[in-house]
Amino acid sequence: MKKALYVLIQCTWGIPQTLLGFVLFLINIRRRHFFYHGAIVTEIPGRGSVSLGLFVFIGTVLPTDLRTKHRIPDEEMEQRVLVHEYGHTIQSLVLGPLYLPVIGIPSVTWCTIKFTLGKGGKRSYYRFYTERWANYLGEKATNKRAMGYAVV
């Protein structure tokens, strides 16, 4: 029942981001997919991950600097990223059509500043409000550990 309600809300209240996620899903239709607490997860090449409504896209290249520095095994790292991204889907449930302007755009902007422009310094990517809240929601929803304040 919970999963059906999750899907229904993502496909109504969260329709803007779910439609974008569906387009990205179709582009990656030949890749590996699986379900996670009602979300459709797709593995994509590269390091980045993104959540768009009902759809979660997880990069297959893990942040090696974090794994080496803190000795986090690959399986645990994959799980933490998944919990974090699932937290973004919960944000979509809460914010509905406001998700993209309140979470999506600021998150992409922060990611660009942090990684592309290299101006984030040693501050954890996950301290930014969009990411911190996603960690919190993902942990509450799954009872598993997310990224915390990892520096990546």
Write out pLDDT tens, residues 20-55: 999 999 999 999 999 999 999 999 998 889 999 999
In a domain, 150, yes or no: no
User: The domain containing residue 88 runs over which residues?
Assistant: 2-142
For residue range 49-89, list pLDDT tens digits in order: 999 999 999 998 765 555 445 566 778 888 999 999 999 99
In a domain, 147, yes or no: no
Give pLDDT, residue 129: 96
Calculate the average pLDDT of the chain.
89
In a domain, 152, yes or no: no
In a domain, 102, yes or no: yes
Give pLDDT, residue 114: 79
Give pLDDT, residue 36: 97
**pLDDT-derived band at 5, boundaries 50, 70, 90:** very high
In a domain, 149, yes or no: no
Give pLDDT, residue 64: 54
In a domain, 22, yes or no: yes
In a domain, 18, yes or no: yes
Long-range contacts (CB closer than 8 Å, 24 or more residues apart) made by 127-130: 130/88, 130/91, 130/103, 130/106
Give pLDDT, residue 67: 45
Report the C-alpha gap between 88 and 100 in whole angstroms.
11
Give pLDDT, residue 150: 72
Three-state DSSP state, 45: coil
In a domain, 16, yes or no: yes
* Tally of domains within the chain: 1
Whole-prediction pTM value?
A: 0.89
Higher pLDDT, 67 or 152: 152
Give pLDDT, residue 75: 82
- Per-position b or e across 20-38, b if 16+ CB within 10 A of its CB: bbbeebeebeeeeeeeebb
